[in-house]
Chain A
Amino acid sequence: MAATDSPARRILARLRTRPTARAGAGGVLVLIILALLAPLLANEKPLVLRWQGKTYYPAFRDFLSMPAHPDLLAAGFRDLPTFKAGLDAARGDSLLLPPIPWSPVTLDLAGRYALPFEGSHPLGADDVGRDVAARLLHGARVSLAIGLIAAGLAFLIGFVAGSAAGYLGGWADIGLSRLMEIVDSIPKLLLLLVLVAALERPTLYHTMAIIGVTSWTGIARILRGEVLKLRGRDFVAAARGLGSGGPGILLRHILPNALGPVVVALSFAVASAILAESMLSFLGFGDPNFPSWGEIIEQGRNHMRSWHLVVFPGVAVFATVTAFNLLGDALRDAIDPRLAPPA
């Protein structure tokens, strides 16, 4: 019987038919893959190393967050020059390097402010000679994690607050709506700066939490309005007459119809969280242990000739934000059965 055809499968089938959905989903997917594979794509440790008759995979150990192999540590292999110095071709030693033979933190003092394709830096290097391409790839991990986790947190708070305010009404609505206005009236960037400055050692997780708890109001407000509108619809009255209780009505009748605009708001929240993190890093309040797109742009600000320090991370931010917005837009259309192509 066709009753087993799940809604999720229908939504996926509808997503597949839309070009913008494919572009958005494809873009997000490529970004996630690049971010995941960053230690294999940009690393000064070789992918494969033949040394003294044994084979090692130093970059893969990085990828799996494992410490370096004890043999190599004992031999003093730390960075690319030491790897190269320790090899003896006559013995049959060899190495295979990643496409970008730089880690995001390697300082190439000879290659400071290198322009694209100068030396072995495909996208150039920054003020202390760190490879821009390597930093972009590793920075994608930070940007995506911030975007998804901060927006996920904002969605969770906004979802609960918005549906409670819309469905319960009365004092719950008044209280939650005023709370949204209070949170909105605090300048977000200022609050971020104060909190980051107040923390002795701000980490990425602090940044995620701060962005999350300050940016849920948009989602909550949209959801509240939708729930309020749908609560008075005849099909909700019909469901009540048929004996459905409060939670059933909210979950089965109201929220599925309210989700469309919220999904769009969520995709914007991902995008704005990425921008907020870039801004923080640009102002120098990022987590110094992780490379970040905003931080690269900040360095470019001081040296106007080094256009590559602004353009490449800027394009990365732009492409990421666009991909999430396209995906959100397409998801909204896909979860609405009225916009489905005829089966």
Chain B
Amino acid sequence: MPVPAPILQLTDVKTHFPIAEGFLIKRHTGTVKAVDGVNLTLARGEVLGLVGESGCGKSTLARTILQLVPTTSGTIILEGKNLTAGSTAEVLDARRHLQMVFQDPYASLNPRMTVFATLAEPMAVHKICPASEIPARVAELMTTVGLAPRFMQKYPHEFSGGQRQRIAIARALALQPRVIIADEPVSALDVSIQAQILNLLASLVKKMGLSLIFIAHDLSVVKHISDRIAVMYLGKIVELGNAVDVIERPLHPYTRALISAIPTPNPDVERARQRIVLAGDPPSPVNPPSGCAFHPRCAYAQERCKLSVPPLLATANAREIACVRLGEI
């Protein structure tokens, strides 16, 4: 299978936050390694699911890719342009091809701006069309995401959660981006609405040729929409592969635990099946365990797991796993 040219390429991306204490004279007392060496590529038209527990760095990775938080090191290359290289006009222009849909549509829309103002602002900022065409384009965007254009002058609080998320998606589409990062776009919504938003995103990817990074902490949501799935643990990617492979034949012990947490609809099966229950909480990213960060919670851990950080190694079928006991377990 020929590998298509990646539209987005992350190389050893690290986002560390210093912890400073003290009044006026700050002492550097530690570092939160929220994202710690992520390598990732996204192909044109691909949907990449990114999963992991709360606090594993998924959202920080998303904000880092958008450059809403500064990268500590590494490069983020979008269509040949390095987004981490300062704030030149070229970089700023490149960033508009990368947009984000946030988790909570109640927090991500300005309550004082109508739908029209929200959608028109990015068009006006980037002057992507003459001002006279903006109303028509706003109406078109609203139709694209399944909202009636007659609601243009309404405020966000007049919409339901699902409708608000549609507005947020429309805003992300306003600049005709190439890549959209959706940070848990359905976890704040009712289950009945989740499927609608997922279907909308899937159809937009097809219709508009978008690439999508879809972040969730729930594999059952991700598996329907993704081509590939990346599993993140404590700032690092531990498993990556085609969606079907990862879900049906998980190789990393952490992925196995995640997948076993998906409930089965049939209560008899659910009662009979063996679940892998992880002990404890994810460790602190300030002071991560030595070696493989997962070893304190891993049922297969050995002495050598504590010694060195396992690299993310490519295996058959375009999969990458970071586990030294791969093949043994």
The chain A residues found within 8 Å of chain B, CB to CB, are: 1-3, 5, 174, 233-235, 237-244, 248, 252-253, 256-257, 337-338, 340
Contact = CB atoms under 8 A, between A and B. Distances in A.
Contact of B68 (A3, A235, A240, A340): A240
B125 A244 contact: yes
B157 A338 contact: yes
Chain B, interface size category, equals 20 to 34
Contact of A241 (B99, B109, B112, B153): B99
Nearest to A242: B122
A239 B152 contact: no
Given A237-B63, A337-B155, A242 B108 contact: no
Contacts of B108: 234-235, 237-238
Nearest to B168: A238
Given A242-B96, A242-B171, A248-B125, 15 more contacts: A3-B116, A174-B24, A234-B102, A234-B103, A234-B104, A235-B107, A235-B108, A235-B110, A238-B102, A238-B171, A239-B110, A243-B95, A253-B110, A253-B113, A338-B157
24 contacts: A2-B152, A2-B153, A3-B116, A5-B153, A234-B104, A234-B107, A234-B108, A235-B108, A238-B108, A239-B110, A241-B99, A242-B96, A242-B122, A242-B174, A243-B95, A243-B122, A243-B175, A244-B125, A248-B125, A252-B113, A256-B110, A337-B111, A338-B155, A338-B157
A243 B126 contact: yes
Nearest to A340: B155
Given A3-B135, A248-B125, A242 B111 contact: no
B112 A244 contact: no
Given A2-B152, A243-B95, A337-B157, A237 B121 contact: no
Contacts of B68: 237, 240-241
Interface string B115-141: 010000110011000000001000000
A242 B152 contact: no
Closest 10 CB pairs of A and B: A234-B108, A242-B122, A256-B112, A234-B107, A337-B155, A235-B110, A234-B102, A338-B157, A2-B153, A243-B125
A256 B112 CA distance: 7
Contacts of A174: 24
B245 to A, nearest CB: 32
A237 to B, nearest CB: 5
Contacts of A244: 121-122, 125
B92 interface: yes
B66 interface: yes
B96 A243 contact: yes
A5 to B, nearest CB: 7
Nearest to B93: A243
Nearest to B150: A2
A233 B157 CA distance: 16
B138 to A, nearest CB: 9
Contacts of A240: 68
B48 to A, nearest CB: 19
A291 to B, nearest CB: 44
Given A3-B152, A233-B107, A338-B155, A257 B99 contact: no
A231 B40 CA distance: 30
